[in-house]
Amino acid sequence: MFDGRGTILIENATLFGEMPPIWGHFMYKLIKATDANGKETKMEYDANGNLLKTIYANDQTRELKYNSQGNIIKAADVLGNSYVYEYDSNGNKTKTQKDDRYETKIKINN
């Protein structure tokens, strides 16, 4: 299904004779994918189109948070690991921290 500008809203595609995945779009972003077994993966976005959450068929989730510049500042994966990111004023990543234990500082040469 397409909108008036020809942008895909829902897509059905068959790959090697399997049942097609179904894709829906929000601001031209994937919002749902259905695999050949009918299991759905859903995606949620903020008003800026940034991916906030991915919900997998087994109810595991992956979540992201952003700063006002659109950089990811916090992430959580399906295993429960959390990540924190810091950036300089130019948007360059300067630090990555995992689970309050592992820290990587990044030096940017200007």
Answer whether 0.75 is exceeded by the pTM: no
Write the pLDDT tens digit of every residue in 22-75: 445 556 778 888 888 889 999 999 988 889 999 999 999 999 999 999 999 999
- Which residue's entry shows tokens 């990811």? 72
Sorted by where each begins, the domain ranges of the chain are 1-59, 71-110
How many Cα atoms sit within 13 Å of 4 on the Cβ side? 0
**Which string of DSSP letters, residue by residue, matches the chain?**
-B-TTS-BSEEE--STTSPPPEEEEETTEEEEEE-TTS-EEEEEE-TT--EEEEE-TTS-EEEEEE-TTS-EEEEE-TTS-EEEEEE-TTS-EEEEEETTTEEEE-PPP-
Write the pLDDT tens digit of every residue in 4-14: 555 545 555 54
